[in-house]
Amino acid sequence: MTLRPVYSMWLFAALTTVAALSGCASLSEDNGFSAVQDKTKVSIDKEVRWTKTEQDREAIRTQVQSLLAKPLTADSAVQVALLNNTGLQATYSELGIAEADMVQAGRLRNPGFSFQRLARDGDLDIERKFLFDILGLLTMPTRTAIETRRFEQAQLRVTSEVMRVAADTRRAYFSAIAAQQGVRYMEDVKEVADASAELAKRMATVGNWSRLDQTRQQVFYADTVAQLARDKQTSVMEREKLTRLMGLWGKDINFQLPERLPDLPKAPTEQNNIEADAIKNRLDIQGARKEVEGLSKSLGLTKATRFVNVLEASYLRNSASGESGQTGYEIELSIPIFDFGDAKVARAEATYMQAVNRLSEIAINARSEVREAYAGYRTAFDLAKHYRDEIIPLRKQISDENLLRYNGMLISVFDLLADARSQMASVNSYIEAQRDFWIAQTNLEGAMTVGSMPGMAMSGGAMMAGSEAGGGH
């Protein structure tokens, strides 16, 4: 009887502690989405929203309609994608899942209560038991810290996905405009080829042109028609890729693109500390660091509990007919006879070392990727500038000279048409070089902030548009 107040005080103190700890573990209003918004704003100066209600969807719809009312720029296309891409909206749910796990780690299992009533020959035996998870209470701070780091990793993963969609949209935007320009110039080539073939046919009819020369002009026209068809299909594919990334359908697919790619900047951006900046800012490195920190904590928890699998305490109160009541406590503990926990610890250590080596690999790869991306950026700029300042002016000069020679009856009309075809081919090459530069710039920005992403590829020293980049979001 004298021990009952002591047990009651102990039970009250335990319940008070549990209530205080559990009270701190609650879900936030935005599931940690504000951290993603802040990182996105700092990195690419764009807005992201998580649509949870019909009012949210209507607000985004209004903003998207406003952006689509004008010809799209690269920035407005990215903003539409970040607001309207339903794949991103699905990714945001990872935050809710990770935060729920974090909050759950800060809560104990509900206490248990058992009641037993036994009667025999008029005697009545009653047993009451209150169960409490002591091990869960002792390990709660460590478990909460581990899940908190996992939640922070989830925030980094979601932010990385936002950056990936933004980069894919930017690449698709430049590729769509370049393909659109390519179709327009190929249509000009087709007109030249058509005129050349028709003129050759007439001259062959009157006997002033050989059949071989006529056939060559007809073949050129036929090849041009085939190439135009391929270019039109490429233009459709690139535009649809952009459409998917922006999450558009219905009347919204009739958005307007500029007629031509943006001009090259006056000078390329100089990057003096690209490796150090990448190690500091890349989200994949930050995520790998969080994983190592979390696994380190997990390893400590595993070692601390290797022998203790079940540790529960229970408060007992028994009463029987004709006898005074009994009070006491019961502790249940598994005995490590068959499993000493060494396999569990070994697994945790191996997982930790795996994460450490992966972090090292990501850091080494990051340094290489930013060097490669910057080299591609500079090569793409130099190549596009070479076309703009050297090849295109020389082609125009040749065209002007040939026109003078034609007016002086020094060359035939076919020579003039052939020169026009060559000039148009150079213009198309310049368009591709412009496209490659803007894509290379996008890839460099991605290599500095996110990491290696689909769509980043090198070809012939110039950064090329990856046909597999993005889409389906």
Domains of the chain: 265-306+342-463 (1.20.1600.10)
3-state secondary structure of 407: helix
Residue 315 pairs with which residues in a beta bridge? 130, 329
Q: What angle do CA 158, 365, 269 make, to 5 degrees?
A: 80
SS3 390: helix
Q: Find, among 437, 311, 301, the residue nearest to 374 by Cα.
A: 437
Least confident of 85-94, 243-252, 271-280: 271-280
pTM value > 0.85: no
Which residues neighbour 371 within 8 Å (Cβ) at sequence distance 6 or greater?
274, 275
What are 303-330's pLDDT values in tens digits? 655 544 444 445 455 555 555 555 555 5
C-alpha distances in Å from residue 181, one per residue of 101, 174, 228, 425, 469: 51, 11, 12, 12, 20
Tell me the mean pLDDT in the region 394-417: 75
What is the C-alpha to C-alpha distance for residues 178 and 257, in angstroms, rounded to an integer? 10
209 φ/ψ angles, rounded to the nearest 5 degrees: -150, 135
In the block, residue with structure tokens 């009250």? 12
How far apart (Å, rounded) are the C-alpha atoms in residues 112 and 343?
31
Least Cα distance to 11 among 129, 93, 157 occurs for 129
CA-to-CA distance for 148 and 153, rounded, in angstroms?
Answer: 9
Q: Which of 174-183, 267-276, 391-400, 420-429 has the highest mean pLDDT?
A: 174-183
Residue type, 220: F
The residues, ordered by sequence, that sit 6+ positions from 351 with a Cβ below 8 Å of its Cβ are 295, 298
pLDDT of residue 405: 77
Q: How many CB atoms lie within 10 A of CB 344?
A: 15
pLDDT tens-digit readout, 75-128: 999 999 999 999 999 999 988 888 888 887 777 777 777 767 667 666 677 676
User: What's the N-to-C CA distance of the chain in angstroms?
Assistant: 69
DSSP strand pairing (112-120 vs 458-459): unpaired
Rounded Cα distance, 469 and 473, in Å: 11
| Least confident range of 215-229, 274-288, 355-369, 452-466 | 452-466
Mean pLDDT (the chain, rounded): 78
- Cα angle: 68, vertex 72, 74; to 5 degrees: 130
Confidence of residue 458 (pLDDT cuts 50, 70, 90): very low
pLDDT bin (cut points 50, 70, 90) of residue 24 is low
Phi and psi for 143 in degrees, rounded to 5?
-65, -40
